[in-house]
Chains A and B, each alone.
Chain A
Amino acid sequence: MRQPLSDEKGEMKSLHMLEVKDIHKSYGSCEVLKGISFTVDKEETKVIIGTSGTGKSTLLKCINQIDPPDKGEVWLEGEELTNPSVDLNRIRQKIGFVFQDFNLFNHLTALQNVSIGLEKVKKVDKEKAREKAMKELRSVGLEKQARQYPAQLSGGQKQRVGIARALAMDPAIILFDEPTSALDPELIGDVLDVMKNLAGKVAMLIVTHEMGFARNVADEIIFMEGGKIIESGSPEQMFNNANKERTRQFLGKIATLYGKE
């Protein structure tokens, strides 16, 4: 783990954009995260895989402090999120989040869903906010659905609006919590395509079971189990030449289940 450097002002500066250090999290007596550490750099795409219940979603919530960790630090662009004196509302603007259940604002149209963050949080003028929101909707292929309400959209469309909503805030990194797990198989492709297009343009940390996506798009794959990181490496390495037996076992099983893509 690289040590953070400090500049003349004595402020700690991390060399990575996102740095997660030794995160521990328990629910009651059950320890879900047992010391997780990793980094994500600018425009990198990292995918976290693992069996259900290993705390992958919990980890994402620990990063943006929705459910803060019990122990450990999270650093984003040189600022420590786990520090109680930090202004979380300001920093959360830099972290996009895409939910498994889409979680769109039901009383707002697709366009308003995307623009509301800009209007209320970034205090952007309404006209400009709508323009930018339209632009993001266009980039996910949904400009025709701008005036529709979430109840009128399909799952895949809702998720793409969710991604547009995250993108509109120009975040430094977007966290994806099993973005396609609640979708019908035929709708998954559209969402994955949108995510593929984002690779390299914005940093992404994705929790998913989509191995094909992980293999083709990820810069690094992190395999988690039992609240710990078992192994991490490039897709090449993880799929073809994993160090740990458990990794080979897991990826082998998944390959059989989903078919090698």
Chain B
Amino acid sequence: MQSLPKLLEGVPVTLLLTFVAISAGFAIGLLLALGRVYGKKVISYSCIVYLEIFRGTPLLVQLFIIYYGLPAVGIIFSPITAALIGLSLNSGAYQAEYLRGSIQAIPSSQMIAGRTLGMTRFQSIRTIILPQALRISIPAWSNELIYLLKYTSIVVYIQVRDLTFQAKDIAAQSSRYLETFLVVALIYLLFTFIFSEIVDRVEKHVRIPGIGLSQTIVKRNA
């Protein structure tokens, strides 16, 4: 128990990784999704290539390539930078698919209604399509957030001192493996719970009757 402070040193790192990955991933994912749906052939295909690469290879392998592999061609990142880059690029690919699904779920007639008023394609996407698509993608997005929180633990393999790393250290030194890892699991669980609550509140706050409502209710009762 005296090692609790040392254990908790890993928490800010884990949280940082989670938040940066989900945010940067969102920005990347949004651009990819829009490129896939609305872009011309070149853009659309480039997006597909990116998505295939990052969803078709294990996150761990991607991190290894970025951290251990790139120095061979002269690109060297610190562990934390490599982790942030790898997690963001990877999350971006998955978020792109959720967002694409949501965007394509909006009937094309909505876009037509916007264009009929005289809006440009860009205006229609920004004021009509996205506000609806983003609401629909909240369940998938909250999934991604919870997933990221836990999978950041993988950065242990590229020497990042996150929560899991600290746990391994402490457990090895004290030989109290069961205790240590149970406590760590509890900490992850606690944060998962907190994040779920926050996302729930946000979802309630932005909820609009008729948009994705039945979807969210089904997910909760399932």
Known: A101-B109, A120-B127. A107 touches B208 (CB 8 A): yes
CA distance A92 to B127 in the complex (A): 18
Report A125-184 residues with CB < 8 Å from chain B CB: 149-152, 165, 169
- Please classify how large the interface on chain A is, using the bins under 10, 10 to 19, 20 to 34, 35 or more: 20 to 34
A106 pairs with B109, CB closer than 8 A: no
| B118 at the binding interface (Cβ < 8 Å) | yes
Instruction: Bits for B127-146, please: 1 = Cβ < 8 Å to A, else 0.
Output: 11001100100000000000
Contact with B123, one of A66, A91, A120 (Cβ below 8 angstroms) = A120
B113 pairs with A107, CB closer than 8 A: no
Least distance between B141 CB and chain A CB atoms (Å)? 17
B118 pairs with A99, CB closer than 8 A: no
Report B90-122 residues with CB < 8 Å from chain A CB: 109-110, 112-120
| B210 at the binding interface (Cβ < 8 Å) | yes
B210 pairs with A152, CB closer than 8 A: yes
Report B147-205 residues with CB < 8 Å from chain A CB: none
Report A78-123 residues with CB < 8 Å from chain B CB: 89-93, 95, 97, 99, 101, 103-107, 116-117, 120-122
| A64 at the binding interface (Cβ < 8 Å) | yes
CA distance A93 to B117 in the complex (A): 6
CA distance A152 to B210 in the complex (A): 8
CA distance A92 to B123 in the complex (A): 14
| B209 at the binding interface (Cβ < 8 Å) | yes
Least distance between A31 CB and chain B CB atoms (Å)? 23
Least distance between A102 CB and chain B CB atoms (Å)? 9
Residues of chain A lying within 8 A (CB to CB) of residue B211: 106-107, 151
Shortest beta-carbon contacts, A-B, top 7: A151-B210, A93-B118, A117-B117, A92-B118, A121-B118, A97-B116, A103-B113
B residues near A (Cβ < 8 Å) are 109-110, 112-120, 123, 127-128, 131-132, 135, 208-211
Closest residue to A149 on the B side, CB-wise?
Answer: B209
20 contacts across the A-B interface (CB closer than 8 A): A66-B112, A66-B116, A90-B118, A93-B117, A97-B113, A99-B109, A103-B112, A103-B113, A104-B113, A106-B210, A107-B128, A117-B117, A120-B119, A121-B123, A149-B208, A149-B209, A151-B208, A151-B209, A151-B210, A152-B210
Contact with B113, one of A99, A121, A149, A151 (Cβ below 8 angstroms) = A99
B119 pairs with A121, CB closer than 8 A: yes
A89 pairs with B120, CB closer than 8 A: yes
A121 pairs with B117, CB closer than 8 A: yes
CA distance A116 to B117 in the complex (A): 9
Contact with A149, one of B112, B114, B120, B210 (Cβ below 8 angstroms) = B210
Residues of chain A lying within 8 A (CB to CB) of residue B209: 149, 151-152
Known: A120-B127, A149-B208, A152-B209. A105 touches B110 (CB 8 A): yes
CA distance A64 to B127 in the complex (A): 21
Residues of chain A lying within 8 A (CB to CB) of residue B132: 106-107
- Given contacts A66-B116, A92-B116, A106-B208, 11 further A-B pairs with CB under 8 A are A93-B117, A97-B113, A105-B110, A107-B131, A107-B208, A116-B127, A120-B127, A149-B208, A149-B209, A149-B210, A169-B118
